[in-house]
Structure 1
Amino acid sequence: MSRLAGPVRVGGGTAPSRVLFGPHETNLARGRALADRHVAYYRRRAEGGAGVIVTETASVHPSDWPYERAPLAASCGPGWTSIVDACRPHGTLVIASLGHAGGQGSSAYHQSALWAPSRVPDPVSRELPMEMEGPEVAAVVDGFRAAAALAVGSGVDGVEIDAGQYSLLRQFCSGLTNRRTDAYGDRGRLLREVLAVVREAIGDRILGLRLACDEGAPWGGITPETAPVPGGIDYLVPVRGSAFADARPDLRTEPGFNLDLCRTVSGRTLTVCQGSVVDPALAERALEFAGLVEMTRAQIADPDLVRHLRAGTAPRPCVLCNQNCRVRDPRNPIVSCIGEPGSGHETEDLVAGAGGGEVLVVGGGPAGLEAARVLALRGFDVELTERADRLGGMVRVAARLAGRDRLARLVDWLEAEVRRLGVRISTGVETRAGDGRPVIVATGSRPGPRDYAVEGGRVLDVVAVLDGATLPDGPVVVHDPLGDWTGAGVAELLAAARPVAIVSPDPVIATQVRDIAGVNARLQRAGVTLVKRSRLRVVRRDHVVVEDVLTGERRELPCGVVIHCGHRLPDAALSGTTVGDAVAPRTIHEAVLDGRRAAVAL
């Protein structure tokens, strides 16, 4: 059996596996209390074999309200008890995460000044916090004590103190944010005081610490050499990042980016390896120096990760896209996953009984593959036809964009599953009509309309380009009215071989992408000309005409070919149950969810 799937001693308890499900924002709370949705969410990971579950970080004091549905420890007692009751039958250790976001929080909800060690504005929000005085410091220490006592009184196996990337305790430990000249100018003092009162409150229960050990700012921040690793804790989760460095990178960063840091600080206590560890083989290697491995996103993608390890089967992969699992967002989306839309929705997840009979699925993209997979699991005799020579649909196209190749792993897994389940597959087949069987139509999308004139110039759709269409000579102009990954990705991809300009109506490129700064920096390094606040108006043989969206001023750009990255339209010519892009071109998440819903409803 995989060592990762085997038991490990943690403090005074034993975890059934070495896989930890770490604390993260979920937006599952009702008010500021852990809710029934949390209980179902954590129960599902315990059923799947998680050894340790650390619940969503709860604020230890009302002065901390970092996002609208952030749990408040004083309101979490019943929720912690329910989570423990749900996870206990599976042997999973339940740890309550406790923290305070300090100057990295938000004043939008409690409408009061943010608390921080010094008057240093947060580089992200630019908000200037108040400098904590003695009473505020004492209130925070007592808040940690009271929250820890409540947590263990509610039945949890221990607590984890958050001194990580987004925490007041990190801010006190860092020269970037702590400029005090009083006793707390000793930057590790508050952390030591908090750990001391928490240990007193919880007795021999497990005490873990999530500690920022590298802020990515060596000129004044915490470094691996200066990280204040204390004694008296049962485990340590060393993390990287701060307001100056992303702590949760996406698929452009190789998995395991934090392994060297974890190795550096290991050996002082039981170490939990953290940092985009989503591949079981990588997690196994991390056990050379770590006692547990945090695989949070991997278990959002497949709650049965540990079960798969024990059975020797392949879990659904996490592609590290951050699209549905990173939810600290004013819209309050529920945590989920592009490949496992049931994550976060366990109280309403689709459940279907056994079925029978024949079903035809037309289209082998993510919607069609998921529909075929679920139908086959239910017992239907499924045939899947695909007009292209390969399954995967638009996901395979998207995976050809710069830095997006991991996306293909999801459709690779779906294809392997439908083949394992005995689905009959035909590729290179154009299906134009059903034959009496129920039909699920997952035929995808086609290019949409163009809102500019073409007067002798050459225009290619981005899908054709990514599928290998030959480009004529000359400069490339990427028409990007959407501002998503597509335009920026194809511009970066092509800039290695020829001059490229990207035209966007927005004040910055890729406004719909979370990593706006990173995208724009990469485009500039690649030499792409950023034509912002402009609309494409005319395409001619050797140039295009663009128009400023505010002033109406027009200018010309040299151009040999325009790559159109605009909206697409549904391509559903068959009658049947239509899913995915054949309903409305959207994201992978909606395509998979549509496919699953159709398969369950049949």
Structure 2
Amino acid sequence: MTRALIADANLIKKVQAGEDPIGCVLCNQACLVEDVSNPIISCQLNPDAGYELEPTPKGFFQTRLKPTRLIKNSIVSIVGSGPAGMELAVSLAEAGFEVELFEKDRELGGALRRISNAGVGGVWCRSLTHYLARIENGRIKTFTDNEVLPDDIAQMAERGPLFLATGSVGSSCHSTMSGYHNWISSSDLLKSPLPAHQERVYVLDNKGDHESAWAVETAACFSDEVVLVTADPSPFSRLHKTGDLMPAISRARSLGVKFLTFTEMRAKGDSVEISKRFSPQRELVQDHMVIEVGARESSRLIEVDGNQTRQIFEIGDCFAPRTIQDAIREARCYSRALLELVAT
């Protein structure tokens, strides 16, 4: 019952009023204490939990939005239906805004849907189902298989606030793999068809979370051999806090994945150097594909700056790479700020 009340503090009131509460999906992603010195308990689907006293960026909206009397009857456009885009859409629609949600793929969900389709995606699949149900029941117009181009943005912003939640793209500019010819980011792998068959694939894990486990399982679909390389003492090290570590390791082992822990990789011309952190031993490999988890940057449709774009905002991974929980919490924060501004 405790987690149910974290997911929706108004659970009892909503049930008594015949309303549907936010249901716990048993994801264990935010309701566990991660830092004992600052034990914030939150919720994947109710990101306000634990952050009730955190100020909202209302002043940021006040400087960039048209007068609030125009906002109340305007259309809010959201480009991108990943976790941040869906959270923002349902939060504003349930508060009475007219919301239009645009997605270039044939189905809503973005990266959340792609990860949900893998073995590691059980917890995200339940989150996705939750959001799709709220979108279907809400006042949200959805436009799938509809790619928004830069030329469309100015016209959309004239109708009301426009939020870009278009995710991220792979970038090796700050990566040790910069310059290697057979490199791909997990962000690009999420958005693209599977590569051609490979003899061996190295997965360079900079995150140790669900995205890392997903990349390994996906690589096993098109490669004879998959090697996970991590500087941590354990593969998928950040999953131990949510109870997903051993299932992820078991699935990887069943696929024949090899683990290289305490290990680093860096590009050396046309080759890749693999080195143990506490050993002088070095190994050079050539031509094998390297999937790097976490090497990404904003997937910007336009540069958001100046008076011409004063009603356009970037959220989620579009603004800065972060976790799914962070993206959802940011979307809820901006939704709350917009509602507070309109209410004044």
* TM-score, normalization by structure 2: 0.75
Aligned residues of 2:177 and 2:183 also touching (Cα < 8 A): no
Q: Give the partner amino acid of 1:446.
A: V
Partner of 1:184: none
Alignment of 1:31-110 (within 5 A): none
Alignment of 1:92-171 (within 5 A): none
Q: Give the partner amino acid of 1:531.
A: L
Partner of 1:481: 206
Render the CA deviation track for 1:103-145: whole Å, top value 9, x for unaligned: xxxxxxxxxxxxxxxxxxxxxxxxxxxxxxxxxxxxxxxxxxx
Q: Distance in 1 between matches of 2:53 and 2:30?
A: 18
Point out the structure with max Rg over C-alpha: 1
What is the DSSP-based 3-state SS (H/G/I as helix, E as strand, rest coil) of the residue aligned with 1:446?
strand
1:325 counterpart = 2:50 = no
Aligned residues of 2:204 and 2:290 also touching (Cα < 8 A): yes
Aligned residues of 1:501 and 1:531 also touching (Cα < 8 A): yes
Q: Distance in 2 between matches of 1:502 and 1:570?
A: 26
Q: Distance in 2 between matches of 1:322 and 1:406?
A: 8
TM superposition shift of 1:509 = 2.0
Q: Give the partner amino acid of 1:553.
A: Q
The 1:414/1:516 distance shift into structure 2, 3 A limit, reads closer
Partner of 2:307: none
TM superposition shift of 1:340 = 0.4
TM superposition shift of 1:372 = 1.8
Aligned residues of 2:231 and 2:263 also touching (Cα < 8 A): yes
TM superposition shift of 1:461 = 3.0
Q: Give the partner amino acid of 1:397.
A: R
TM superposition shift of 1:510 = 2.3
Aligned residues of 1:339 and 1:588 also touching (Cα < 8 A): no
- Give the total of aligned pairs: 305
The 1:441/1:455 distance shift into structure 2, 3 A limit, reads closer
Q: Of the candidates 141, 144, 164, which is equivalent to residue 424 of structure 1?
A: 141
1:392 counterpart = 2:116 = no
Q: Distance in 1 between matches of 2:37 and 2:178?
A: 37
Unmatched 5+ stretches in structure 1: 1-20, 22-295
TM superposition shift of 1:307 = 6.0
Render the CA deviation track for 1:43-98: whole Å, top value 9, x for unaligned: xxxxxxxxxxxxxxxxxxxxxxxxxxxxxxxxxxxxxxxxxxxxxxxxxxxxxxxx
1:460 counterpart = 2:211 = no
Q: CA RMSD in A?
A: 3.4
Partner of 1:513: 239
TM superposition shift of 1:471 = 3.5
* TM-score, normalization by structure 1: 0.45
What is the DSSP-based 3-state SS (H/G/I as helix, E as strand, rest coil) of the residue aligned with 2:199?
coil
Q: Distance in 2 between matches of 1:372 and 1:558?
A: 46
Q: Of the candidates 259, 268, 272, which is equivalent to residue 530 of structure 1?
A: 259
Aligned residues of 2:167 and 2:318 also touching (Cα < 8 A): yes
Render the CA deviation track for 1:392-439: whole Å, top value 9, x for unaligned: 122123323433223133233223323322222212223221321221
Aligned residues of 1:375 and 1:382 also touching (Cα < 8 A): yes
1:361 counterpart = 2:78 = yes
Partner of 1:469: 194
What is the DSSP-based 3-state SS (H/G/I as helix, E as strand, rest coil) of the residue aligned with 2:6?
helix
Would you tell me which structure has more helix in proportion to its own residues? 2
What is the DSSP-based 3-state SS (H/G/I as helix, E as strand, rest coil) of the residue aligned with 2:120?
coil
Partner of 2:322: 586
The 1:313/1:390 distance shift into structure 2, 3 A limit, reads farther
TM superposition shift of 1:336 = 0.7
1:434 counterpart = 2:154 = yes
What is the DSSP-based 3-state SS (H/G/I as helix, E as strand, rest coil) of the residue aligned with 1:564?
strand
Q: Distance in 2 between matches of 1:521 and 1:462?
A: 21
Q: Distance in 2 between matches of 1:571 and 1:465?
A: 14
Alignment of 1:372-387 (within 5 A): 372-387=89-104
Larger relative contact order (Cα-Cα within 8 Å, sequence gap ≥ 6): 2
Partner of 1:448: 171
Q: Distance in 2 between matches of 1:559 and 1:320?
A: 42
TM superposition shift of 1:341 = 1.0
The 1:471/1:570 distance shift into structure 2, 3 A limit, reads same
The 1:516/1:597 distance shift into structure 2, 3 A limit, reads closer
The 1:559/1:529 distance shift into structure 2, 3 A limit, reads farther
What is the DSSP-based 3-state SS (H/G/I as helix, E as strand, rest coil) of the residue aligned with 1:501?
strand
Alignment of 1:299-318 (within 5 A): 299-305=5-11, 315-318=21-24
Unmatched 5+ stretches in structure 2: 59-67, 305-311, 339-344
Aligned residues of 2:170 and 2:186 also touching (Cα < 8 A): no
TM superposition shift of 1:347 = 5.4
